[in-house]
Amino acid sequence: MALTVIHHPGYTIDLPANHPFPMEKFRVLRRLLGEQRLACPIEWLTPAPASFESLARVHTRGYLDAFLHGTLTRAAQRSSGFTWSPELVERVRLEAGGTLMTLEAAMATGLACNSAGGTHHAHADAASGYCLINDLAVAAAHALAKGWVDRVLIIDCDVHQGDGTARLFADTPDVFTFSMHAERNFPARKAKSDLDVALPNGMADDAYLAELASWVPGLLATYQPDVVIYDAGVDVHSDDRLGYLALSSDGLYARDAYVLNHCREAGIPVAAVIGGGYDRDIVALAERHAQLHRAAADVQARFG
């Protein structure tokens, strides 16, 4: 069986040359995945922009109106990390639509990946840390609203805490938020996930994987989710300029394979997004993100 991967050329838009967000990584990741030989073929799907209705399940209408129509204040734009533009709006809606499609594909096939996504710092009424719309929350709320599932587990392994997601679902027992992140990193003021695992600076492969293994099986067995949304941020890598952990590229693969295998062994569909990753060497960064898709192809070949 092929591995479903969601991608849209609109995930990449033009930014000023000195902008700190590595926007080109999505385009380069698509190229790399097209060139690499994986354990199973990729079925590429193209998403549509997420609808206003789907966004409004988790974001306030006031914030959505300001974002969609270009009336965000300068302070709000600074907090987002981007200067507003119509192209940015389309890109963000496509990314959220991509994660929605990823979850829907995962429900059908057992496993699917987005080539973007993981904007877990976006709050109900505000952007933060390069995150304007919380695609993880949009997808979870959509699946619940459509009656596809009764319980969603979000496993967030980005180096930064998923504070926006945690706050959005703080009073929603149908969504369990698990964040395993560097303790001394953004955001300075952490939210309260259903389960937070804060890691010390410099943690490397063996200790990290042991910590992950101490939590994931119990979460799956205890919460018994109908679907898992997995944020596979690569800013845990030792060379990432915004992360304080020390995983290798092999460690990234091992982490992703561990999570995906355990979900599939439990018969739980899993929708994976690439999460954060910040390096000025775009090819090296895209190679790190590709570890998710390589692990997913291996898992799909095993279970497909």
Residue 300 has what pLDDT?
Answer: 97
Q: With bands split at pLDDT 50, 70 and 90, how would you rate the model's confidence at 250?
A: very high
Number of domain units in the chain: 1
Task: Report the residue count for the chain.
Answer: 304
What mean pLDDT do residues 173-177 have? 98
**Mean pLDDT across 207-236:** 98
Find the CATH number of the domain harbouring 183: 3.40.800.20
Q: By percentage, how much of the chain surpasses pLDDT 70?
A: 100
Mean pLDDT value across the chain: 97
Query: What Å distances lie between residue 103 and 72, 264, 269, CA to CA?
Result: 30, 14, 9
Predicted TM-score (pTM) of this structure:
0.98
pLDDT at residue 179 tops 80: yes
* pLDDT value for 92: 98
pLDDT for 61: 98
Residue 304, exposed/middle/buried by CB under 10 A (0-12, 13-18, 19+)? middle
pLDDT digits (tens, 9 = 90+) for 10-24: 999 999 989 999 999
1: confidence class by pLDDT, cuts 50, 70, 90: confident
For residues 61-71, give the mean pLDDT. 98
Burial degree of 94 (CB within 10 A; 0-12, 13-18, 19+): buried
What b/e string do you get for 43-54 counting C-beta neighbours within 10 Å, with b at 16 or more? ebbebebbeeeb
Residues of the domain holding 146 = 3-14+22-303
Q: How far, in Å, CA of 95 to CA of 26, rounded? A: 11
pLDDT at residue 304 greater than cutoff 80: no
Residue 245 DSSP code? -
Is the bond preceding residue 41 a cis peptide, omega within 30 degrees? no
Which position has the token pair 């006031």? 62
Residue 201: DSSP 8-state: T
50-62 per-position pLDDT tens digit: 999 999 999 999 9
Question: What is the mean predicted confidence (pLDDT) over 144-153?
Answer: 98
For residue range 27-41, what is the model confidence (pLDDT) as tens digits? 999 999 999 999 999
Residues 79-133: tens digit of each pLDDT: 999 999 999 999 999 999 999 999 999 999 999 999 999 999 999 999 999 999 9
pLDDT tens profile 274-285 = 999 999 999 999
